[in-house]
Structure formats: structure tokens, C-alpha cells
Amino acid sequence: MGTVWVAHNRVLDVDVGIKLIELHGDEGADLAQRLLDEARAAARLGHEGIVRVTDFGVTRLGDPFLAMELLEGEDLADLLAREGWLQGRFAVRLLLPIVGALAAAHDKGIVHRDVKPENIFLAKEGADVKPKLLDFGIARTLYGVPRTTSEGVVMGTPDYMSPEQARGEETDASSDVWSTCVVLYELVAGACPFSGANPLELLRAIAGNEPVSFEQRAIDEPDLYRIIERGLQKQSKERWNGMRALGEVLALYLTERGVAEDVSGTSLRYVWLSGLMPPLAHPANEAMGGGEARSATTAAEAPPPAPSGPDLEALAAVNAGGDPVEQLERAERRRTAAWIVAVALLVAASTLGILIGTGIVVF
């Protein structure tokens, strides 16, 4: 659809990325409108997990362009091509910032509709990795703004399309839930959950077939697969009820394994969970999946035992008790009060013992 260039902003003296669309024939007006929609959608969101758009304009030849922050790093597709597959914990840590970005987009009525590894960029900021969501070019605004695509037009990348997208039907935020779960599946399995000899067969498989389970692929991640499996339900109402619900159960999956932060260093408790959970051990360094066999994980790499079969939905419901930060503060105050009472009782008991031992107090 176009090219991306490195450019220099002479006024601000910084390098930026320029996304340029060359117009051809009748499709030009539609592409220009879609680029403008992308600029507006990204500018409205202003989320750290979404690439920042700084300007929109038209060249002297009449071609539209979009200026955005220039990122250094690689996209998720490049990482996957190099590594083959990733450990479940590391894959979830990579995706949680994107889940948060999509939740923010959905809160403002914007559905991405093309979530895929190529549109997830792992930006390097010093020693840190900051996942960024790219390309809102086929995003749809749920309310207030007319769509630029017609009913029955299939938009998106086939491997990551929801069944309703594959049929060219109406789409909403649940389509992004589906696509995100496909990406997570691919990161852990090294392949997508549906396949076909050609795009038409692939779309038929997405609409009618069950995904290949982790067990069939000899992947020992039953808890993670249950999360993904619900996100891949054919009926949108049977999937996770929005990106926040998906983010909560993924955060719980990590905390059950001693992980406290996503890959960007953001606290899972602060963003996703309440303060009612027990203290966590310091997270161990996560390793990407490499060339070794999955059964050869060392004791140092192996996650601590997970609780016996917790109901993920019931655990996620704990966040419904109010703002997670407020709950965390209340829990901390309760712990502090309990600690003060315990110390006071201990001091009183010790003092009484001394008085009895010296004969000052006699019973």
C-alpha cells in the first residue's frame, strides 16, 4: 500500500518515520481516507503501547503522508522467525502491553481489525523493550464516524481473522480478542491454530474447524491453552468479554508463576490486578524459546508449581471489586494495622513475663 521512510524534522531537529501512500486510479481516494483515519485514531488514543503519530499531510504531488515517531528494534514477526517459538511466560509478557493498548482503543470505540505479529513492534529504549501497536489503517470506529469499508468486504490478514471477519460480517472489539489469541497461540506453538492450502480453505477452516490444541502439538501449557481456547470461540459472545478481561486472566497466569511485571517493566498488580493477592517472589529472568527441545527445560528455567486448577474466570472476577490501586492501598493499610497490633501484643506479653519473673507481679 505504500512505503515508510526515515525523515528529519528540521524544526524540531529529530528523525521521524514517514508513511507515504502513492495514489493510483480510483483507489486513491479510499487509501487517502484510510491513512487519515489511521492518523486520527492513533492521535486520539495517545497510549504508550501505540505508535505516536505527529502529523498528517499531502505531498506536492498530492500523495498523503503520515509522520510518526521513529522506532528502533524489530517487529514480532522477525522475532518469531528467528526464535521459532517462545516460552509461554515470555510470550504473555510480550503481549500484555499490546492487550492494554487495545483495551484503551476499545474504550474509545476504535477496533484495530488487523492485529498480527507484523503490526506489533518491539521498540528498544536503552536496555528496555516497549511493545508498540502499529497500523490502524483498517481500524473501524464503533460510533460517531462512518466506516470507509463496505459490508461484505473482507479486511485484514487471513491467518488472524475472526470468523465474522472471514465472512465479511459486522465486526466489533471481540474480533481483536480473537486475533490477539491467535498471535499468542502462534508465539508459543510456532504456527497458527488454523491452516489451509490456499486463502479460501484457510478462511473456511477459521469459520468451521476447531483449532489444533497445544496437547496435539506436544506443548505442556494447559492453563494458557484454556485462556487462548476461550478467545477462539466461533461465537463472539462466548469469547473473553473484552481486552481487559483477557488481560486480567493473562496477568493471573503470570503471577501464578512468580512473574510480577510485563516485558516493559509495568507492574501486573498495578495495571491488571487487585491488592488482595499474596506477595509474589521476584520474577526470574525469562528465556526465549530456542533450539533446545521443550522437554529439556532446566530446573532453573522451570516455573514454580501453579495452584491446583484455579478457575481463571473466578480469579479474574476479583478485579470487579473496584479500582485496583484503591484496593491495593486498602489492603496495605490493613496489613500495616495488623502488624502494629501484633507487635503491641508481643511487647505486652514480653513485659508481663518479665514482671512475673522478677516477682513484681504475682498471680
For residue range 344-354, what is the model confidence (pLDDT) as tens digits?
Answer: 888 777 777 77
**Cα dihedral sign, 233-236-237-241:** positive
Is the pLDDT at 60 greater than 90, yes or no? no
Closest by CA position to 69, among listed 111, 116, 15, 4: 15
Pick the residue with more confidence: 62 or 80?
A: 80
Is the pLDDT at 306 greater than 90, yes or no? no
Instruction: Find the radius of gyration of the CA atoms of the chain.
Output: 25
Is the pLDDT at 181 greater than 90, yes or no? yes
Average the pLDDT over 93-122 and give the result. Answer: 93
Identify the top-confidence range among 166-170, 208-212, 276-280, 302-306: 208-212
With cut-offs at 50, 70 and 90, classify the pLDDT of residue 288: very low
| Extents of the domains making up the chain | 3-69, 73-321, 323-363
Identify the top-confidence range among 162-176, 235-249, 312-326: 235-249
Query: Which residues, at least 6 apart from 22, have a Cβ–Cβ distance to it below 8 Å?
Result: 2, 3, 63
* Cβ pair 94, 122 in contact under 8 A: yes
With cut-offs at 50, 70 and 90, classify the pLDDT of residue 77: very high
| Spatial separation of the C-alpha atoms in residues 148 and 216, rounded to whole Å | 41
With cut-offs at 50, 70 and 90, classify the pLDDT of residue 2: confident
Is the pLDDT at 141 greater than 70, yes or no? no
Is the pLDDT at 88 greater than 80, yes or no? yes
Closest by CA position to 92, among listed 295, 344, 303, 239: 303
Is the pLDDT at 310 greater than 70, yes or no? no
Is the pLDDT at 322 greater than 50, yes or no? no
Class of domain 73-321: mainly alpha
Pick the residue with more confidence: 147 or 204?
A: 204
For the chain, the average pLDDT equals: 79
Give catalytic residues, as residue numbers.
114
With cut-offs at 50, 70 and 90, classify the pLDDT of residue 220: very high
CB atoms within 10 A of CB 350: 10
Structural domain 3-69, CATH architecture: 2-Layer Sandwich (3.30)
205-210 LR contacts (CB < 8 Å, sep 24+): 206/158, 206/161, 206/162, 206/163, 206/166, 207/163, 207/166, 207/167, 207/234
Pick the residue with more confidence: 64 or 163?
A: 163
What are the angstrom distances between the C-alpha of 75 and each of 5, 72, 338, 356, 360? Answer: 16, 10, 48, 72, 76
Rounded to two decimals, the pTM is 0.71
